[in-house]
Amino acid sequence: KNQVEQSPQSLIILEGKNCTLQCNYTVSPFSNLRWYKQDTGRGPVSLTIMTFSENTKSNGRYTATLDADTKQSSLHITASQLSDSASYICVVSGRTGANNLFFGTGTRLTVIP
Amino acid sequence: EPEVTQTPSHQVTQMGQEVILRCVPISNHLYFYWYRQILGQKVEFLVSFYNNEISEKSEIFDDQFSVERPDGSNFTLKIRSTKLEDSAMYFCASRGDSINYGYTFGSGTRLTVV
C-alpha cells in the first residue's frame, strides 16, 4: 500500500534553532519526493523536489535529503524564524496514474521567540 | 511567478445547496486537479483532469461532484447537493507535462456547509 508517514506530528522550537523533520514512504514505483510548506488556511507551497537520483537539495534555509534505498527523506531547517511556523508536508509521486501524489499528514512546526 | 487562482476564498452554504468552486490554473499547464483537506487531516485527492476529460477520480468524488473546464482558462468543481461533511478546504492544482514538474496549488476555498 502506498503510504507516506511523517514525524514528529508537531514540534516547537525556539527562534534561531535548527530542526529536522522526517518522512518515510512506501510508494512504489517512485518518481520524486516533494516538501511543501502550508500556512494555516493556505495552499501548499513547494519547497523542494527531488528525483530518484538526487540525495540532497537546498532552498535557502531549507535542506532536503533523500535516501531512495531506505525510502526516507528529511527536511532540515536552519536558523528558524517565526515565519517558519507552518505545516510541512512530504508528498511522494509515483510513476503511474494521474493520481500520482501521496501526501503525508504533515509536521506542524511552531517557532517561538 | 505564475499562480493558480481560486475563488471564492471562503464560501458558506446551506446543506443541500449547490456550490461551484472556481480555479484558474497556470496557463501552459496541462493537468488539473482538485484536492480537499478536512480540518486537521491530510490532503486528499478528488479528481484529475487532462485533455478536457476526467483522467482519474477518487472514491470521494461521487455523483454529487462534477468538474468542468468551460473555457480555456477556468476549471470548476461543482457540488450539487452539499452535505455537512463536505466542509473542508478545497485546493485546485495544476502542472506541466512532466510528472517531475512541480504541482502548483492555489490558496484554496474554505467551504463551510451549515
DSSP B33-85: EEEEE-TTS--EEEEEEETTEEEEE-TT--TTEEEE--SSS-EEEEESS--GG
pLDDT digits (tens, 9 = 90+) for A15-54: 999 999 999 999 888 888 999 999 988 889 989 989 888 9
**Chain A within 8 Å of B45 (Cβ-Cβ)?**
yes
**Do A34 and B102 count as a contact with CB atoms less than 8 A apart?**
yes
**Cβ contact B100–A45 (<8 Å):** no
Given a cut of 70, is residue A98 above it in pLDDT?
Answer: no
Check CB contact under 8 Å for B99 and A95: yes
Question: What is the nearest CA distance from A78 to chain B, expressed in angstroms?
Answer: 23
Average confidence (pLDDT) over B14-31:
94
Give the chain A residue whose CA is nearest to the CA of B100.
A32
Cα–Cα distance between A106 and B38 in angstroms, integer?
13
pLDDT, position A40? 85
* Kind plus residue range of the DSSP H or E element containing B11: strand B10-13
pLDDT of residue A41: 81
CA distance B15 to B38: 17
Looking at the DSSP assignment, which residues form a beta bridge with residue A72? A24, A67
How does B99-110 read in b/e, with b if 16+ C-beta sit within 10 Å?
beebbbbbbbbb
Under a CB-based contact definition with an 8 Å cutoff, are residues B34 and B89 in contact? Answer: no
Cis peptide before A29 (omega within 30 of 0): yes
C-beta separation of B26 from B6 below 8 A? no
Contacting residues for B70 by C-beta, under 8 A, at least 6 apart: B76
Does A11 score more than 90 pLDDT?
yes
- Residue B1 has what pLDDT? 74
Average pLDDT score over chain A = 92
**Binary contact (B105, A43; C-beta < 8 A):** yes
DSSP states along chain A? ---EEEE-SEEEEETT--EEEEEEE--SS--EEEEEEE-TTS--EEEEEEETT--EEEETTEEEEEETTTTEEEEEE-S--GGG-EEEEEEEE-SSSS--EEE---EEEEEE-
Query: DSSP character for B86?
Result: G
* Averaged pLDDT for residues A1-24: 95
Q: Which of B34, B94, B99 to mutate to probe the A interface, most A CBs <10 Å? A: B99
In this prediction, residue B99 carries a pLDDT of 57
Cα distance from A99 to chain B (closest Cα, Å)? Answer: 7
Using the structure block, give the residue that is written with the C-alpha cell 511567478. B1
Kindly report, residue by residue over B53-94, the tens digit of the pLDDT.
999 999 999 999 999 998 878 999 999 999 999 999 999 999
Position B52 scores a pLDDT of: 87
| Tens digits of residue pLDDT in B96-111 | 876 566 788 999 999 9
